[in-house]
Structures are given as C-alpha cells and as structure tokens.
Amino acid sequence: KEMLPVGEIPIIEYNLRYLERSGISRAFIVLGERKEQILHYIRDGKRFSLKVAYLFQDIKEGVGTAKAISVAENWTNDSFVVLYGDTFFHPGDFIKELINYHVKKKAVATIGLYEVTSPERFGIVKLDNERIVNIIEKPSKVEAKSYLVDEKYLANSGPLVFDNIIFDYIRKTKPAQNGEYQITDTIKLMIEDNLPVYGFKIPQNVFWRDIGTPESRLEADAYVLKHKNIL
C-alpha cells in the first residue's frame, strides 16, 4: 500500500517529505516480503533530503504493527516518530507540533488522533484531559459505544511518537485473535501501568484517509486533484 499513488505520487513519498519538513534528518523504512519496489523508488532518500535506511521484518518472528516497530529497536534515538504506510494526510506540517507536544507533556507515547464516524476499521481511544485512558482495536459500534463523543470516535490515525520504553512493552505484547501483534495492545499495556500516554488531535484543516478501501482512495485522489501541487 505504501506505493499506492495518490494524485500520481506514492503515499510513502508524502510521508518522507513531511518528515523532512518537520526537522527529521534520518528515516527507517521497515520492509516485509516483496517490497523491492520501495527500495527502487526511494533508494538512499537523498532526493527527499533525508538519510533513508531499510530494516527488514522477518514474518517468522510475528506480524502486526508492534512487530514492525520492534525491528527498529537498535536504530532509534531516545524518541522517534512512526508513520503508517497506508494512510494519506495533508497538510503534514502538524508533525512538528506533535513532536513538540510529546516533549512538553513528558509523554512516553503520543498518538495522532483523527475524528471518524465509524469505528470498525480503526483503533479507537478514550481521552481524559488529553491522556489516553483506554484503547480498543477495530470494535463494533456496540463495543465502542462508551467511546462515542459528539457522534464521533477518535481513531489512532498516526503519526505516533514513542520513547524507547515502547520496546519493553512490545516484548510483553501478546498476539491478538488474528495472530497479529498490534501496537494498540502495546499502548494498552502502557496505559495499564499508568504511564503518560497522550492523544494529539490532528488539526481540523487536515485531510486524512486510511486508503484501505476503494472509496477512501478515490476521495484522496479527488482531494489532490482539487488542491494541485500539494508537495
């Protein structure tokens, strides 16, 4: 999905350019199997003014977002930013604000949140004074009833900022029913240990879509066509 074009530009290119503009100089791309296309397109990242390196995820060690993040353990600084490869958003200049918020709050994890009307395809959070007090992965509307605020749910849309302690909690994370190691379950463990996990509401002017459905891809394409030259 990372190479799916939105307005002729792959999603991954938007993400890399947003990171560079946020003051980040080094990026790691976690690759699974059959991802050579990304290597050929991004190469060393020079044309994005970034140093890009590649980390390979061995699926025999487990799959899911938590396992993908764990591959970066020996390569990250004290804190780092995670972007999902299957979401498109614009503009991306709020990432710098998100990083500053994480530092200001002395958080161990800060999750970018976007308002959605239907919870079934997302990790949904409950906030109390900006702190995340609960998180549930892809719930039904019945399961997510207590998460509904003003007819909206707050979805874990990314970007996310983590301190290195996240890796300790990934090691404690058990696989979900579908066999995947989900970062939502890791975050839940941190919340249960009363660690400072915060939600950062993405600004209202940001267009965001999970491009996992044909409809959302079409909406993203239409947005780019309308706004032209957005990078």
- Looking at residue 48, which CATH number applies to its domain? 3.90.550.10
Model pLDDT, residue 34: 76
Q: What's the Rg (C-alpha) of the chain?
A: 17
Classified as helix, coil or strand, 189 is helix
Residues 79-130: tens digit of each pLDDT: 999 999 999 999 999 999 999 999 999 999 999 999 999 999 999 999 999 9
pLDDT band of 152, cuts 50, 70, 90: very high
Is 191 a residue whose pLDDT tops 90?
yes
pLDDT range class, residue 213, cuts 50, 70, 90: confident
Percent of the chain residues past pLDDT 70, beyond the cut: 100
Cα angle for residues 211, 95, 103 (degrees, 5° grid) = 135
pLDDT in tens, 34-91: 778 999 999 999 999 999 999 999 888 888 999 999 999 999 989 999 999 999 999 9
When divided into structural domains, the chain yields a total of 1
What's the mean per-residue pLDDT of the chain?
Answer: 95
As given in the structure block, the two tokens for residue 8 are 């002729």
Question: Which domain does 31 fall in, by range?
Answer: 5-227
Q: What is the pTM of this model?
A: 0.94
The answer to whether residue 231 scores a pLDDT higher than 90 is no
Q: Which helix H or strand E contains 208, and what residues bound it?
A: strand 207-210
pLDDT of residue 18: 97
Where does 68-196 show beta strands of DSSP type E? 79-82, 87-90, 109-116, 123-128, 131-137, 153-163
Q: List C-alpha distances in Å: 50 to 8, 21, 29, 77.
A: 21, 10, 12, 16
pLDDT mean over 174-183 = 94
DSSP character string of 1-67? -TT-EETTEEHHHHHHHHHHHTT--EEEEEE-TT-HHHHHHHTTSGGGTSEEEEEE--GGG--SHHH
Mean pLDDT of 180-195: 97
Query: Does residue 136 carry a pLDDT above 80?
Result: yes
Give the pLDDT mean for 20-25. 96
Residue 200 belongs to what H/E stretch? Answer: strand 197-201
For residue 137, is pLDDT > 80?
yes
Residue 208's pLDDT band, with cuts at 50, 70 and 90, is very high
pLDDT of residue 125: 97
Q: How far apart are the first and last CA of the chain?
A: 19
